[in-house]
Amino acid sequence: MSIVRLEDVHKVYPLGETHVRAVNGVTFAIERGDFISIAGPSGSGKSTILNMIGCIDTPTEGSVYIDGRPTSGLTDRQITRLRHQFIGFIFQSFNLVPVLNVFENIEFPLLLGSEVASKEERKEYVDFLIEEVDLTRWRTHRPNELSGGQRQRVAIARALVTRPQIVLADEPTANLDSKTGEGIIELMKRINRELETTFIFSTHDPSIMEIADHIIRLLDGSVIEDRRTATAGAKA
């Protein structure tokens, strides 16, 4: 069963007296453990699709299924719980909580659920992730004391801390230089392999796009290409 499935999804935004059609009848499926790139130029609907998969936006028409369950008809509380349990987010501009240090930022989502792990359990796993993203030295630093690449690595660790099945990354390398960007994508790929977490990231950078094992290319809100790459074959 696909972990994410979109069926004839449309998204229309009102803009003054007119309407903008951001997503236009998109249908695709994503398999568990995939490392997927949603590619396309600006305005092609990448972020809107990621937002709908991430349950922070709803389709105007069509259905989004997460782990086989439709996201429509859920209350705000249920949707928030679903996001917390199933989905991790990595944002283009990192979106760390400025008043929390590296450890606290990563730990933060663990404190939002209805059941909170013990302090020792939380510390052990957060420290493991800090080590994974190579930020041990920066554990007690606040976001304003970190470089862009370091901030994005904190965001990756934060996205993974609740052990989500899906991690969504909206243009995770857009605010980074190319070398740091590559490092971030490689880190995401490594974690994808090690933890078997499904990674869905949007990009308009062709070089980064090709690292994915499943590429969905968009243009003007429609899918123009949906293919698995050679990497996917190698992984399989």
Q: Summarize as ranges the residues that interact with other proteins (CB under 8 A).
A: 51, 54, 56-57, 76-77, 80-81, 83-85, 89, 91, 93, 95, 97-100, 104, 108-109, 111-113, 116, 119, 158, 162
Token representation of residue 157: 């660790």
Closer Cβ to other proteins, 56 or 195, answer by number: 56
Contact 154, 135 (CB under 8 A): yes
Closer Cβ to other proteins, 22 or 191, answer by number: 22
Q: Supply the minimum distance, in Å, between the C-beta of residue 97 and other proteins.
A: 6
Closer Cβ to other proteins, 201 or 209, answer by number: 201
Q: Supply the minimum distance, in Å, between the C-beta of residue 175 and other proteins.
A: 14
Dist CA 166 CA 56 (whole Å): 14
Q: Supply the minimum distance, in Å, between the C-beta of residue 114 and other proteins.
A: 9
Q: Which residues touch 48 (CB under 8 Å, ≥6 apart)?
A: 11, 22, 23, 57, 221
Closer Cβ to other proteins, 17 or 76, answer by number: 76
Dist CA 98 CA 186 (whole Å): 26
Closer Cβ to other proteins, 18 or 144, answer by number: 144
Q: Supply the minimum distance, in Å, between the C-beta of residue 143 and other proteins.
A: 11
Token representation of residue 213: 């094992």
